[in-house]
Structure 1
Amino acid sequence: MSDLVWSRDGGDWPNRQASAFVEAAGIRWHVQRMGQGPPLLLLHGTGAATHSWRGLMPILAQQFTVVAPDLPGHGFTQPLLAHRLSLPAMASDVGGLLRALDVKPEIAVGHSAGAAILARMCLDGKIAPQLLVSLNGAFMPFGGVANQLISPLTQLLVMNPLVPRLFAWQASNPAAVERLIANTGSTVDAAGIALYRKLVRSPAHVAAALQMMANWRLQPLLHDLPRLTTNLLLVAAGNDRSISPDVARQVREICPQAAIEHLPGLGHLAHEEQPSRIADLITTYAARTSPAVSRSTGL
């Protein structure tokens, strides 16, 4: 149980040949970049890392220049101060990374909390993609009493420095990580389980995930979503136990221009379960909305 170090823990990291480290927004980022074509940004969700794109990224790289960072404190990217792990601050810092990379994504794809960060970036003028793809996007806060309790409880957990180490210690039991993944409604292969286990055995990674949860405020984003002019695709997995598929319908009520694609039988990690299916959706909608992608793909 220790924090992740690339020289020790990155030897078996998926798509390792595409990895680099970049200084931006005051921290050192782990970024993966591969392929040729219109630029496409992938942004993972809370508690994940670039490993989540291990199957999807090489497929998209056949038609796009794909860029995927580890979010601050996640995977192999350095952590930020706790207050910087809020939605607007992370949107700003990812924007700083893109400026350092000189990347202006034509397509932006986010999973869970990553989709909310990308929407915030669009609204704040940090990016101007032709298409925003939300994979089981975390746009809605927990309802009722849960919404009043979860954030304060998470803040109390984050204040105790022993809590991330306790989570990491519990992850030494392989069954604990298998249960964690099963609770998302997804079926992930053994290699994927091993990668998640590596992540959650890192106290720094766990602390970043908890700090994100403690700082997560979605009401300002929901207030601003009607101003979103970017083409929006909402992908909703029918077996998602983390984000209700009904969230996509609620978001479309706010953003009538949005399209919804339902994926029966898949869970919260649908892009890990069936990366080819997700890649087809992204490419099809990208070709409809982006002239550059249409020319590149011939669709």
Structure 2
Amino acid sequence: MVAYLDWATDGADWPNRDASRFVDAAGLRWHVQVMGQGPVVLLLHGTGASTHSWRDVMPKLASAFTVVAPDLPGHGFTTRSTKASLSLPGMAAAVSGLLRELKLSPERAAGHSAGAAVLVRMAVERLFTPDLIVSFNGAFFPVSGVAGQFFSPLAKAVAGATVMQKLFARMADRSAVERLLKDTGSRLDETGLKLYQRLFANEGHIAGTLGMMAAWDLHWVPQDLKNLTVPLYLVRASKDRTIAPANAERAAQLAPKAMIIDMEGLGHLAHEEDPATAAAIIADPQAFVRR
């Protein structure tokens, strides 16, 4: 049996715990954080992360916005969902269901990596109607080369295998997590390292991450970008070793209202490395667009 994160123990010192609540929506028991007052901003983390990814961004936005950030299906403290809801369209529909339950209509949204792709799908499907979307190192294109040929089949093979989930979780010691995060091009503080280690050491979170990887199909996302009618701000980090910074140029050529913002010297987790700048970009992205 898969062991999932326990809020009473694993969540006892969770970042922004006072803003946390648990909500039933779209067939899931969601962990979602809501704080602040003003226009609503939706924040979606990427594959393998959780609300902790926005831990230092949320308070900086809360003085001017109502900020809402969920753990995506199968991640963090949100319960494991069906195979369908771990796919891109399934996740978009699930997040939409959560917003309806919360009675919140985001005026803007920001997503990191895969979270950005979810937001674009939601907008194209008219599941929400934001004024703008900010993408931090958005994962809009399939992984190419050997990695793409290997990791997707691997995820499909082990996503439902409890033994493999347990094995992955047991391998998540501090040194392994440090190597994994270093490979993204980012350098996190001690708090960030410990939180990722807690997530990666949990079988339930690993199961959700592998399930999402197995269900993920980005081959038709380029068409979504072409159909996107709202402004899309593409934030790219110069040292990102997970999503090539050049992918922002590809996305900008497809999306009719796309603009590029550069974050120099940072990696894939740029919003965690420099949360002050990330929050400022979400609050006023136009001020950061390259001239």
Query: Normalised by the shorter chain, which TM-score bucket?
Result: over 0.9
Per the normalisation by structure 1, the TM-score is 0.93
The answer on whether the counterparts of 2:73 and 2:85 sit within 8 Å (CA) in structure 1 is: no
The answer on whether the counterparts of 1:2 and 1:201 sit within 8 Å (CA) in structure 2 is: no
- Counterpart residue type for residue 164 of structure 2: V
Give SS of 2:78's match.
Answer: coil
Residue identity (%): 53
- Counterpart residue type for residue 221 of structure 1: V
The answer on whether the counterparts of 1:105 and 1:128 sit within 8 Å (CA) in structure 2 is: yes
**Counterpart Cα distance in 1 of 2:178 and 2:149:** 29
Taking the TM superposition and a 5 Å limit, the aligned residue runs for 1:79-228 are 79-171=80-172, 173-228=173-228
- Counterpart residue type for residue 179 of structure 2: R
Structure 1 stretch displaced more, 144-153 or 217-226: 144-153
> Which whole-Å deviations, capped at 9, do the CAs of 1:268-287 have from their partners, x for residues lacking one?
11111110011111112279
> Which whole-Å deviations, capped at 9, do the CAs of 1:120-155 have from their partners, x for residues lacking one?
000001110001000000001012454344322211
Structure 2 equivalent of residue 56 of structure 1: 57
**Counterpart Cα distance in 2 of 1:187 and 1:170:** 21
The answer on whether the counterparts of 1:107 and 1:286 sit within 8 Å (CA) in structure 2 is: no
- Counterpart residue type for residue 191 of structure 1: T
Give 1:31 deviation, angstroms.
Answer: 0.5
**Counterpart Cα distance in 2 of 1:227 and 1:201:** 39
Structure 2 equivalent of residue 243 of structure 1: 243
Instruction: Flag the 1:149–1:175 CA change in 2: closer, same or farther, 3 A.
Output: closer
**Counterpart Cα distance in 2 of 1:109 and 1:152:** 29
> Which whole-Å deviations, capped at 9, do the CAs of 1:90-117 have from their partners, x for residues lacking one?
1001000000000110011000000000
Give 1:259 deviation, angstroms.
Answer: 0.6
- Counterpart residue type for residue 194 of structure 2: A
What are structure 1's unaligned runs of at least 5 residues? 289-299
1:70 pairs with 2:71: yes
**Counterpart Cα distance in 1 of 2:285 and 2:150:** 38
> Which whole-Å deviations, capped at 9, do the CAs of 1:191-245 have from their partners, x for residues lacking one?
1100101101110100111111111111222123211001110000000111110
Greater helix share, 1 or 2?
Answer: 1
**Counterpart Cα distance in 1 of 2:228 and 2:96:** 17
- Counterpart residue type for residue 268 of structure 1: H
**Counterpart Cα distance in 2 of 1:19 and 1:159:** 29
Instruction: Flag the 1:161–1:96 CA change in 2: closer, same or farther, 3 A.
Output: same
**Counterpart Cα distance in 2 of 1:90 and 1:167:** 24
Give SS of 2:8's match.
Answer: helix
The answer on whether the counterparts of 2:109 and 2:133 sit within 8 Å (CA) in structure 1 is: yes
The answer on whether the counterparts of 2:169 and 2:201 sit within 8 Å (CA) in structure 1 is: yes
> Matched residue pairs, number?
287
CA RMSD of aligned residues (A): 1.5
Structure 1 stretch displaced more, 82-91 or 216-225: 216-225
> Which whole-Å deviations, capped at 9, do the CAs of 1:61-88 have from their partners, x for residues lacking one?
1110000000011110011022321000
Give 1:185 deviation, angstroms.
Answer: 0.6
Give SS of 2:79's match.
Answer: coil
**Counterpart Cα distance in 1 of 2:287 and 2:263:** 20
> Which whole-Å deviations, capped at 9, do the CAs of 1:153-209 have from their partners, x for residues lacking one?
2111214221111111011x2111111111111110011100101101110100111
Structure 1 equivalent of residue 259 of structure 2: 259
**Counterpart Cα distance in 1 of 2:265 and 2:251:** 21
Instruction: Flag the 1:59–1:286 CA change in 2: closer, same or farther, 3 A.
Output: farther
The answer on whether the counterparts of 2:4 and 2:205 sit within 8 Å (CA) in structure 1 is: yes
